Amino acid sequence: MLPNGKHLRSTLTGALTLSLALLSASTLAADKVYRLKLAETWGPNTPILGDATKNMAQLAEEMSNGRLKIRVDSANKHKAPLGIFDMVKSGQYDLGHSSSYYWKGKVPNTLYFSSMPFGMMATEQYAWFYRGGGMELMEKVYGPHNLLSFPGGNSDIQMGGWFKKEINSLDDLKGLKIRIPGFAGEVMARVGAKPTNIAPGELYTSLERGTIDALEWVGPAFDLRMGFQKIAPYYYTAWHEPGSETQFLVNKKTWEKLPSDLQSILETAFRVTAFDMYTQSIDANANSWKTMSSDYPDIKVRDFPPEVLDAMKAATSQLLKEEADKDPLAKEIIASQKQYLSKVRAWTDISSKAYLDAN
Amino acid sequence: MLPNGKHLRSTLTGALTLSLALLSASTLAADKVYRLKLAETWGPNTPILGDATKNMAQLAEEMSNGRLKIRVDSANKHKAPLGIFDMVKSGQYDLGHSSSYYWKGKVPNTLYFSSMPFGMMATEQYAWFYRGGGMELMEKVYGPHNLLSFPGGNSDIQMGGWFKKEINSLDDLKGLKIRIPGFAGEVMARVGAKPTNIAPGELYTSLERGTIDALEWVGPAFDLRMGFQKIAPYYYTAWHEPGSETQFLVNKKTWEKLPSDLQSILETAFRVTAFDMYTQSIDANANSWKTMSSDYPDIKVRDFPPEVLDAMKAATSQLLKEEADKDPLAKEIIASQKQYLSKVRAWTDISSKAYLDAN
């Protein structure tokens, strides 16, 4: 390891008997240590999500030779898992790691930068973010709030959830009590289900006792330890979050104080961490699904029937139209995503889909 | 911009009237500029592939604040597009950008680190490289040659190629003259076709005049400008390169001379550039396919019929068995890929495939 700023100063002092007072701040600007604080939505040692913040901090420190030191505070420390937006905006924290759709109640247009029902898969969405105008639209939404937002890692396709009974028609959804929060919950309500939100710690018991009939959680990597497969054997395939992206948030004033090489290091650390979290999620889902499907051979993987999918698609389109009619920026984002999805999916269909169908 | 090493020295000299002779090399080690030379297989200004090397060099220079300066030489300069392995091994170049399967004739086990027929798609293969033991196996192959190899960017799924006539049975492949080099060509030969290699500049004329009946090239982003769609309307879907990964090569002695922060910067620049090239390839394929399919509405996208796919799969398995029987390391790599593919594809099938089928 090369010496960090602190060590370099003392080496100089010793070797050259040179008074540090003579060295103006500017001549040693390249060695100044920036100590940043990051608040994450997740609890301590959360797999995958918590790995992303630790990996990012370590990589930034290594590449900057110790000039960037990032302290990560988990939810048990800052006590505000859904306060990340406000704490980074105000400067209480320099950085945050969370997910954009959590801020919909505060800034409605943040909804569009995590994952949308019947929307883009992770690879398609990365292409939209980095090559299709997504980053610029995210800047339009976050900029006015003194924030920068970057993709923060993808949790891979989320499954449609665990159901106690098979869904064979739209009628089977009528009155169905399902834990599904956010925009996807609004879609479910439009097709007749009764969406609800329940604290994670009470989910298993609620499902077991029939307080709810179904729930969506994440995918095999997160679902396995929750044990839902023991009490709700129908595992439905994806529709509502085909590529859930987390986010790194940065306080703009903090960002502007960083020298350009450290900005480049931080942005690159975000970007490579995001891709790596996606890779880790694929690997973890593959491993957990292997365990789950061999330890619980009675799990029944099901696709929603076409009439249910069609109704959920129609409800999604209607809800998006209502949002677009309310706000010009919402309209612009929705149009950009729709247009990009149409173009990229045509390619996905003759490439990945054709390949998977033939194998 | 912070001063690079050269500028910092003169600032110190001026400000402190301090003789540079007093400053030992070690105290200013953190400011030393490392000038590296990279040879790429590609010609100058090759889209996507050539963007990857330029982007990587720029990112490494920015993050290192000018301490890493990488000169990129294209094939017109070094005159040895397929000499990258040797030039980096010998130290004539510090770095290279190429593709692993080009070295099969020299080091047979390099074959497995680009893309294999009926193998992993890009996202599955990245999970194998970074989480499933792929990097360690690549090190076993390249280490003895004084080389490090890193994933260098994915060109996305490659199409099966352009055919003048529709393939309806295995008989239609018998004697078919097709440009398809490498391992995939060996597979084609096993099922009765006559694979051949032809220089890129002569491909169009050869196809037009019937010297060949079919060819594989890359995908829409590279195929569009070649114009094959004008003379061979059947565009077959993927089988032989489901996720072609390029590579960054590094001379080990060069690597060992770099301070650890610059090693971290370089490795991260490789890694993020690889992911970005994949994203760029998806975007470019989506755009080119949109143009191609609207400007040439007579293109007929076809899947090979099951009997053809089954025969090509059997031939691939047989060829891999022959390689495994020849060499223990080949056997280890083939087993690792087969095992990982089986696990990850089970997850891909209930996630991405199910989602694409329902949309």
In DSSP notation, B305-352 reads PHHHHHHHHHHHHHHHHHHHHH-HHHHHHHHHHHHHHHHHHHHHIIII
pLDDT band for B29, please (50, 70, 90 cuts): low
* pLDDT computed for residue B12 by the predictor: 36
Residue A301 C-alpha, separation from nearest chain B C-alpha, in angstroms: 8
Picking from B234, B230, B200, the residue whose alpha carbon sits closest to that of residue B214 is B234
Contact yes or no for A352 and B349 at CB 8 A = no
Average pLDDT value for residue range B149-178: 98
ipTM associated with this complex: 0.92
Average pLDDT value for residue range B251-255: 98
- Mutation target vs B (from A244, A260, A350, A353; most B CBs, 10 A cutoff): A350
| B133 near A CB under 8 A | no
Rounded Cα distance between B4 and A184, Å, is 51
For residue A47 the two structure tokens come to 């797999």
Rounded Cα distance between A227 and B206, Å, is 61
* pLDDT computed for residue A30 by the predictor: 66
Binding site annotation covers A158? yes
pLDDT beneath 50, residues of chain A: 1-27
Question: Among A237, A285, A355, whose Cβ lies nearest the Cβ of B242?
Answer: A355
Picking from A152, A329, A158, the residue whose alpha carbon sits closest to that of residue A248 is A152
Binding site annotation covers A217? yes
- The answer to whether residue B132 scores a pLDDT higher than 50 is yes
Question: Among A27, A283, A309, whose Cβ lies nearest the Cβ of B127?
Answer: A283
* pLDDT computed for residue B4 by the predictor: 22
Binding site annotation covers A61? no
Rounded Cα distance between B359 and B351, Å, is 12
Question: Among A22, A63, A359, whose Cβ lies nearest the Cβ of B118?
Answer: A359
Q: Tell me the Cα Rg of chain B.
A: 23
Class in CATH terms, B34-154+244-285: alpha beta
All structural domains of chain A with their residue ranges: 34-154+244-285
Beta strand B161-163 with B34-40 is unpaired
Rounded Cα distance between A41 and A99, Å, is 8
* pLDDT computed for residue B359 by the predictor: 86
Which residue in B has a C-alpha nearest to residue A219's C-alpha? B351
Residue owning tokens 């959590």: A102
Residues of A in contact with B23 (CB under 8 A): 16
| B130 near A CB under 8 A | yes
Rounded Cα distance between A213 and A47, Å, is 27
Contact yes or no for A157 and B357 at CB 8 A = no
Question: Among A65, A220, A303, whose Cβ lies nearest the Cβ of B354?
Answer: A303
Q: Residue B96: beta bridge partners?
A: B39, B249
Could you list the beta-strand ranges (E) of A131-205: 147-154, 161-163, 177-179, 194-196
The B residues from 18 to 57 touching A (CB cutoff 8 Å) are: 18, 22-24, 27, 29-31
**A·B CB contacts under 8 A:** 242
Which residue in B has a C-alpha nearest to residue A5's C-alpha? B30
Beta strand A147-154 with A194-196 is unpaired
Residues of A in contact with B238 (CB under 8 A): 351, 354-355, 358
Average pLDDT value for residue range B220-245: 97
| A17 near B CB under 8 A | no
Evaluate the CA torsion angle B312, B314, B320, B323 in order and state its sign.
negative
Average pLDDT value for residue range B19-43: 71
Residues of B in contact with A11 (CB under 8 A): 27
Question: Among A283, A347, A354, whose Cβ lies nearest the Cβ of B131?
Answer: A283
* pLDDT computed for residue A28 by the predictor: 52
Residue burial A11-48, b: 16+ Cβ < 10 Å; e: rest: bbeeeeebeeeebeeebbebbeebebbbbbbbeeebeb
Q: Residue A39: beta bridge partners?
A: A73, A96
| B15 near A CB under 8 A | yes
Beta strand B147-154 with B245-251 is antiparallel
Q: Please enumerate in sequence order all residues whose Cβ is within 8 A of that of A104, keeping only pairs 6 or more positions apart, or say none.
A: A110, A111, A182, A183
Cα torsion B244, B248, B251, B256 to 10°: value is -130
- The answer to whether residue B9 scores a pLDDT higher than 70 is no
* pLDDT computed for residue A39 by the predictor: 98
Evaluate the CA torsion angle B141, B145, B148, B150 in order and state its sign.
negative
The H-assigned helical ranges of chain B are 5-16, 49-63, 75-78, 84-90, 122-131, 134-142, 182-190, 203-209, 220-223, 252-257, 260-295, 306-326, 328-348, 354-357
Contact yes or no for A359 and B276 at CB 8 A = no
Phi, psi of A105, deg, nearest 5: -70, -25
pTM: 0.92
* pLDDT computed for residue A359 by the predictor: 86
For residue range B43-97, what is the model confidence (pLDDT) as tens digits?
Answer: 999 999 999 999 999 999 999 999 999 999 999 999 999 999 999 999 999 999 9
* pLDDT computed for residue B63 by the predictor: 98
Contact yes or no for A30 and B11 at CB 8 A = no
* pLDDT computed for residue B8 by the predictor: 29
| B202 near A CB under 8 A | no
* pLDDT computed for residue B31 by the predictor: 82
Show binding-site residues of B for Na(+). 217
